[in-house]
Amino acid sequence: MTRTDTTGTRPRLGRKRDHARDPEILEATLDILAETGYEGMTIDMVAARAKAGKATVYRRWASKPELILDAVACMKSSEVDFTSPPSTGTLRGDLVAMVKSPTLREGERKLKVMAGIVSMIARDPELAAAARAAIVEPRAQANLIIFQRAIDRGEIPGDADVETLCTISPALVAYRVLMLGIPVDREYLIATIDKIVLPAAGWQPPRL
């Protein structure tokens, strides 16, 4: 006779789940998503990249969509603290201080991950929310803080369209990386700040 617990349900059999490999599996998932997209990715590919058994992956995630949702939701943040962006005393200084090599590499990867799951996002509101929270909202929030500081210092007009200003650089970067296939470097981003973002904001350097 099979032993039951006090509630009358059968005990769960099999090995206890080991979550120690989760970070490696999630990182492998993101790498493959960026390379192949949702349709091209398989659990076998993830297991091989993470050097984990296929059974190990399936014990933790029952399906590919579940795995992708967790991977996107747990996407690592960069070395920049988007909740407390650099404060240099000027709008230009703050925007330039956000341009760092690790952030550039991570930004390109996030764009490619987003492109890889775009077809799935249209069908899965939960994944869409996770993607926005991990990829879009942190930098958008940092930009809002930076532009509000500039308004408070009198560098840009109080009625500046901050929401639109925050989208200029991300939109140009996405077009360059995803449509043209050209990597984004520090020089390109600083030129975008100087030639497009600051003029569009009506920026006036603080008087010394």
195 and 95, same structural domain?
A: yes
User: Greater confidence, 190 or 105?
Assistant: 190
pLDDT interval class at 196 (50, 70, 90): very high
pLDDT interval class at 28 (50, 70, 90): very high
Rg (CA), the chain: 22
Residue 69 lies in a domain: yes
100 and 51, same structural domain?
A: no
Whether the pTM exceeds 0.85: the reply is no
Least confident of 98-107, 149-158, 171-180: 98-107
Residue 35 lies in a domain: yes
Tokens of 80: 């920049």
103 and 154, same structural domain?
A: yes
Residue 58: which CATH number? 1.10.10.60
Q: Domain span at residue 120?
A: 91-201
111 and 35, same structural domain?
A: no
Alpha helix ranges (H) inside 88-185: 91-97, 101-116, 118-121, 125-131, 137-153, 162-174
Residue 124 lies in a domain: yes
Percent of the chain predicted with pLDDT > 90: 42
149 and 108, same structural domain?
A: yes
Tokens 């899965």 map to which residue? 124
Q: In one letter, which amino acid is 72?
A: V
49 and 135, same structural domain?
A: no
Predicted confidence (pLDDT) per residue in 47-89, tens digit: 999 999 889 899 999 899 899 999 988 876 554 567 789 899 9
pLDDT at 80: 55
116 and 66, same structural domain?
A: no
65 and 98, same structural domain?
A: no
Percent helix, strand and coil across the chain, each rounded to 5? 65, 0, 35
pLDDT interval class at 204 (50, 70, 90): confident
Tokens of 194: 């100087």
The DSSP result for 149-170, as a single string, is: HHHHHTSS-TT--HHHHHHHHH
Q: How many domains does the chain have?
A: 2
126 and 57, same structural domain?
A: no
Compute the distance between CA of residue 186 and CA of residue 107 in angstroms, rounded to an integer: 12
